[in-house]
Structure 1
């Protein structure tokens, strides 16, 4: 990825086209030359957008030069702004869906295919961190329900889900007093971490560190309070949304993902009018943010959700009430 210093000075915005090539659960990455900016680090291939050049044209040119492939089809995936000490970059990231040729380090750079689980083990530039996080996001976002099972009783189904492959959990227990929630959060965080899962707290963001959690999930009230991201990039930020305005607010505060609900009728909110898949799809397309579908979701809805632009499903009652939690989680986590 060519990131030469802009001639107009270090404070100028450097626009970079970035391509995500994914195949059989793996992503193609390359290593920067030692004498380049962020030298020696790994990256997603791409390069600087020249004046007067549109992003897709730049992406096709860069991947032809760097990887020896001809991009035939690609879609916008996300944008990332980042300020280094010597430059301000905008990464315009596209997901490559069709190309000709075999990608390789055409300019002599090291290159390889890696799974999304392997990517964080490499040294990437700071600007690439949001891309890594989005690629890691699983198709299933679990939301706790200890009120139904009891605090101790909920541990067994949660551990079943974690053993089956669940990797992202929200602890949402609004009925618990603060002290009780804090103690329970530490317990659940330990259980999640033993199975390689991440835990987000539906609580004040400052609780995250003291509970050893991995991030915060902002409900509608908390989401409206913030003008910027309430935690640094080492933590996750999720957001609950019910309309386009709240989705845009989640985008403005720098949330890593949003949950949009209710998509279908749900027994937990019987008076809420469902959005339906058409409205859900329209809202997803209007934000540069991964969105999970919530509300009346069933295991068999994953394919429909993805067709509508969802990252995956967020689930509460249907997943914990499944006859076999292991089978349900395995089916979702393997997609």
Structure 2
């Protein structure tokens, strides 16, 4: 019988955005491999409590604020491991290594250490995903106004754009996607296209975003670097996880102009629906940058928004 092990792991964040990795010491499983600090969850122990204990034992620091993030499962030769990842948003004390062979602060997308433990590899990609997604609505405000808003947002730090334009004719959509990508590339921003895989591929977009109806018909992940989906239920986010998607949007969290009369699910329900998933989940619906802290406290990777994404 395969041994099942629960592990709590921490993405310890420094003020400049770097996160901490430790190299496993000789005499342990996978010596020389790099991992996120943490350890085994003991019987009767909550994963968050286990992580607090492990960080004190391993690094001599005290976690002040933990944010639930994702749960990755991996089958090693010795055990089936469930890794509960938390963002360690605030902590105190001086980092001192008591367990690992070495420690290193790294940046998402620019890690300089290898190899990573197999279970932790996908987490490195998830850390590359920006926290704020701007969703276009050129069909409502006009292409010129949308592109102007996009340029201002990119200049202000926006690094993830979803092109969602169901009312544009295909030829107009192609031109618009090309214009968005042309503006996004110099800023290193990712561009995903909603519901139009052929347009996304022809434009060399970074990925595709599946509508919930498309997600329901999928039996395999589309062949793009980045693939996400819109979800409204636990069943849908679980299906997105099984397909190995990179992220999901979940909502509406609050009432929106896009869906008048539809009541938002609120952050408590969001946290319940988004718990224990293998990929990051964005909160969607009536949100702005001011909601980021509350979103992440509820387990969201970040937020996605239409109207508040585009400064005037």
TM-score, normalised to structure 2's length?
0.77
For residue 229 of structure 2, what is the aligned residue in structure 1? 239
| Cα shift at 1:46 | 4.5
Are residues 1:151 and 2:143 paired?
Answer: yes
Q: Secondary structure at the match of 1:227?
A: coil
Higher relative contact order (CA 8 A, sep 6+): 2
Deviations 1:246-278 (A, max 9, x none): 222222322222212222222222243332344
Unpaired stretches in structure 2, ≥5 consecutive residues: none
Tell me: CA distance 1:295–1:107, structure 2 relative to 1, closer, same or farther (3 Å).
Answer: closer
Question: Could you list the per-position Cα deviations for residues 290-333 of structure 1 after superposition, in whole angstroms to 9, with x for gaps in the alignment?
Answer: 3222222234333443344333221112333x44xxxxxxxxxx
Equivalent of 1:300 in 290, 293, 309: 290
Matches of 1:298 and 1:75, distance apart in 2:
19
Is it true that 1:160 corresponds to 2:145 in the alignment? no
Match of 1:223 in 2: 215
> Which stretch shifts more, 56-65 or 197-206?
56-65
CA-CA distance at 1:101 after TM superposition: 5.4
> What is the aligned residue count?
308
Please state if 1:275 is matched with 2:262. no
The 1:237–1:124 alpha-carbon spacing in structure 2 relative to 1, beyond 3 Å, is farther
SS of residue in 2 equivalent to 1:23: coil
Cα distance change on mapping 1:205 and 1:71 into 2, 3 Å = same
1:141/1:168 contact within 8 Å kept = yes
| Unaligned ranges ≥5, structure 1 | 1-7, 324-335
Are 2:269 and 1:263 equivalent residues in the alignment?
A: no
CA-to-partner distance for each residue in 1:64-105, whole Å, 9 max, x for gaps? 775455779867542334579x89974513325677753344
CA distance in 2, matches of 1:290, 1:46: 20
- Do 2:181 and 2:205's aligned partners in 1 also have CA atoms closer than 8 Å? yes
CA RMSD of aligned residues (A): 3.9
